[in-house]
Amino acid sequence: MAPKEVLDLKICIIGAGMGGLATALALAKQGFRNINVYESASNLGFVGAGIQLAPNMARILDRLGVWADIEKEAVDLKDTSIRQGATNAELGHVDLLYIRSTYDYPHMVGHRASLAGSIHDGCKREKDVKFFMSTSAGEVKSWGPRPSFEAIPREGEPYSVECDVLLAADGVKSVVRDQLLRLKNIDAKIIDTGQAAYRIMLKREDMQNDPELLELIDKESVTRWIGEKRHIIAYPVSSKNIYNLSTVQPDRNFAAAPSSTYTTQGSKPQMMEVFGDFCPMVKRMLDLVPDGEVCEWKLRVHEPLPFWVYEQTALVGDACHPTLPHLAQGAAQAIEDGAVLAIALAKLPEVTPEAINKALRVYEKVRMERAYTLVNLAAASGRAMHLGEGAAKEERDRQFAALKEGKGPVPDKWADADVQKMIYGQDVMKITEQDFDKIYASL
Ligand SMILES: Cc1cc2nc3c(=O)[nH]c(=O)nc-3n(C[C@H](O)[C@H](O)[C@H](O)COP(=O)(O)OP(=O)(O)OC[C@H]3O[C@@H](n4cnc5c(N)ncnc54)[C@H](O)[C@@H]3O)c2cc1C
């Protein structure tokens, strides 16, 4: 364990999403004693949607002592099937059972509430993690040597918070990132991907009179239906009591909306129209969504940043590497950030502002290239799935055909064995443990 003076550092985390919660828990597990989490929301009423729980995420959560609870309700995937949206014909089929024996953890799918709720429960069991709910971070007044920011509670007067380390895990709309970019005169903008997503959760009882749909919810499988500029990915969650669907389609509704808006109530007729040329089974599923319960998300990413660390402040998760969901790695990467940060800070050889800045930069060195590689790969995978008629689509479909013969890469990159090796085979905690001294000395 790190020396007492290191563990007594006051660390403030802005945001209690996947990244903020994982960072708080990872710091507590390293023995830090003064961890403070500021969250705008009054409670963590987690978004009703499914999430893929990849082995690189599971490995970290297991070490943090919360994976067993998440695993209980999650569904262990056997395979994935990629199909033509219009015909339901299978383009590719990939076995996923090998993942557990190869990477020591399975690839599972679960409910977001279970994932975030279990990490939150883990934090609540740690006496040294304090939550300040209904409290937004406003202006960052100092980035170091003692970072400080304005905390704005929903009730009561704003007050100033000072700390030794400030970690901004405030999501894709990060106010801390925006201030930092302004300060450094960097023009890295939010990129409008032109894509939006419907998030849908169907209840088992609504599917049970339809044998084809029942078969889908009963299978330990991720199914992706693809079409030009659109796809739908679906899998069972919550012990197969819920079938989770997440779509991607051209964004028609948000273009004129203010940039702070990311979700809206979608129109069911419009959703049915967008997927109007998909096969009857997919349309029957979409038709089960009650009117007025169509939830549409804007998909936004951000231009890569030249740095994530300034003085004694660092950005975490979507605040610095938001991604399209096509590799299912956004939350996993935010959790990797938290685990790496906690190890880097626990390895501080001395408690000085310079040392803290260097330890944060070790985090940046371990994480930045990997995170941005996956952001780019997710975007490329989306492009491959959304191809319209033409040579590129013919080449993609040739790859799918070769796959049936057991040869070559999978165009849907999250299911490609080489991509999985790069993502799941890398243990970022071990790398930080092993390489900290070398990287620290090089800075
Ligand atoms: C359609 C879709 C599907 C996805 N599927 C997957 C998947 O299968 N697997 C996967 O790993 N990832 C997936 N992701 C990505 C994943 O959800 C995100 O990458 C992840 O939630 C990012 O976590 P975060 O903590 O960085 O940000 P967030 O989860 O956005 O958390 C930010 C938190 O900060 C709070 N906050 C914001 N501003 C302030 C402020 N000023 N003061 C205080 N608090 C503040 C917010 O209220 C929020 O709680 C998906 C994303 C989408 C859109």
| Pocket residue to mutate for ligand 1, from 12, 170, 264, 326, most atoms within 8 A of Cβ | 170
106 within some domain: no
Q: Are residues 196 and 247 in the same domain?
A: yes
Whole-angstrom distance, CA of residue 64 vs CA of residue 91: 39
Residue nearest to atom 38 of ligand 1 (CA): 170
Q: How far apart (Å, rounded) are the C-alpha atoms in residues 361 and 311?
A: 10
| Secondary structure (DSSP) of 99-158 | HHHHHSS--EEEEHHHHHHHHHHHHHT-TTEEEETTEEEEEEEE-SSS-EEEEEESSS--
Inside any domain, residue 406: no
Average pLDDT taken over every residue of the chain: 93
Q: Find where tokens 């009591």 sit.
A: 241
CATH number, position 17? 3.50.50.60
Give me the mean pLDDT over the 105-132 stretch.
Answer: 96
Tokens linked to 208: 């049970």
Ligand 1 within 6 A of CB of 197? yes
Residue 265 has what pLDDT? Answer: 80
Cβ atoms of 289 and 268 closer than 8 Å: yes
Residue after which a domain boundary falls, among 268, 301, 334:
301
Rounded to the nearest angstrom, the distance between the alpha carbon of 408 and the centre of ligand 1 is 34
- Report the number of secondary-structure helices (H) and strands (E) in the chain: 16, 20
Q: Is 239 among the domain residues? A: yes
pLDDT band at 274 (very low <50, low <70, confident <90, very high): very high
Q: Are residues 320 and 297 in the same domain?
A: no
**Ligand 1 center to residue 16 CA distance, Å?**
9
**pLDDT the model gives residue 188:** 72
**Mutation to probe ligand 1, out of 21, 23, 37, 39 (largest number of atoms < 8 A from CB):** 39
CB of 106 sitting under 6 A from ligand 1? no
- Measured CA to CA, the distance from residue 385 to residue 228 in angstroms comes to 8
CB 84 within 8 A of CB 91: yes
Testing ligand 1's pocket by substitution, the residue of 51, 109, 140, 375 carrying the most ligand atoms inside 8 A of its CB is 51
Pairing of strands 35-38, 221-227: unpaired
Q: What are the respective helix, strand and coil percentages of the chain, to the nearest 5?
A: 40, 25, 35
Give yes or no: residues 172 and 279 share one domain. Answer: no
- 402-424 pLDDT, tens digit per residue, is 888 878 888 888 889 999 999 99
Give the pLDDT confidence score for residue 44 in this predicted structure.
Answer: 82
Residue 226 sits in the same domain as residue 311: no
CATH code of the domain in which 259 resides? 3.30.9.30
Q: Does residue 262 have a pLDDT over 80?
A: no
pTM to 2 decimals? Answer: 0.95
Q: Which residue range(s) make up the domain with 224?
A: 191-301
79 is a domain residue: no
Q: What pLDDT does 287 receive?
A: 96
Within this chain, do residues 167 and 273 fall inside the same structural domain, yes or no?
no
Q: What's residue 136's pLDDT?
A: 97
Pair 352, 438 in one domain: yes
Please give the distance, rounded to the nearest whole angstrom, from the Cα atom of residue 333 to the centre of ligand 1.
11
148 and 36 in a common domain: yes
Ligand 1, atom nearest to 319 Cα: 26
Choose the final residue of a domain: 235, 266, 301.
Answer: 301
Task: Tell me the C-alpha to C-alpha distance, in Å, between residue 201 and each of 40, 46, 82, 246.
Answer: 26, 14, 20, 9
Specify the ligand 1 atom closest to the Cα of 135. 43
Residue 143 pLDDT > 70:
yes
d(Cα 226, Cα 385) in Å, to the nearest integer? 6
In a shared domain, residues 121 and 34: yes
The tokens for 93 are 């089929």
Contact call for residues 219 and 80 (beta carbons, < 8 A): no
Residues 6+ apart with CB under 8 A from 119: 18, 21, 22, 25, 61, 64, 66
Count of domains for the chain: 2
Show the tokens assigned to 344. Answer: 């880097």
Residue 170 shares a structural domain with residue 225: no
The C-alpha atoms of residue 149 and residue 151 are separated, in whole angstroms, by 6
Determine if ligand 1 sits within 6 Å of the CB of residue 12. no
Cα 210 from Cα 190, distance rounded (Å) = 42
Mutate to test the pocket of ligand 1, among 18, 173, 180 (most ligand atoms within 8 A of CB): 18
The per-residue pLDDT for range 320-356, each reduced to its tens digit, is 999 999 999 999 999 999 999 999 999 999 999 999 9
Do 313 and 417 fall within a single domain? yes
**Partners of 298 in the beta sheet?**
196
Q: What CA–CA distance (Å, rounded) separates 244 from 413? A: 20
For 179-217, write each residue's pLDDT tens digit. Answer: 999 999 988 777 878 899 999 999 999 999 999 999 999
Q: Which of 164-168, 222-226, 277-281, 398-402 has the lowest mean pLDDT?
A: 398-402
Express as a percent the part of the chain with pLDDT over 90: 81
Q: What angle do CA 302, 182, 380 make, to 5 degrees?
A: 10
Among 258, 277, 301, identify where a domain stops: 301
Residue 263's pLDDT band (cuts 50, 70, 90) = confident
Residue whose CA is closest, atom 37 of ligand 1?
170
Range in 34-38, 236-240, 367-371, 421-425 with the lowest mean pLDDT: 236-240
Any domain includes 22:
yes
* Shared-domain flag, residues 351 and 420: yes
Classify residue 133: in a domain, yes or no: yes
Q: What average pLDDT does this structure show over 21-36?
A: 98
* Ligand 1 pocket, residue 263 CB under 6 Å: no
What was the pLDDT predicted at 375? 97
Q: Confirm or reject: Cβ of 38 under 6 Å from ligand 1.
A: yes
Within a domain: 101: no
Can you give the length of the chain in residues? 443
User: Does residue 404 fall inside a structural domain?
Assistant: no
Ligand 1 neighbour 170 (Cβ under 6 A): yes
pLDDT for the residue numbered 2: 81
pLDDT range class, residue 399, cuts 50, 70, 90: confident
Would strands 159-162 and 148-153 be described as parallel, antiparallel, or unpaired? antiparallel
Q: Please indicate, yes or no, whether residues 320 and 354 belong to a single structural domain of this protein.
A: yes
pLDDT digits (tens, 9 = 90+) for 44-78: 866 668 999 999 999 999 999 999 999 998 999 99
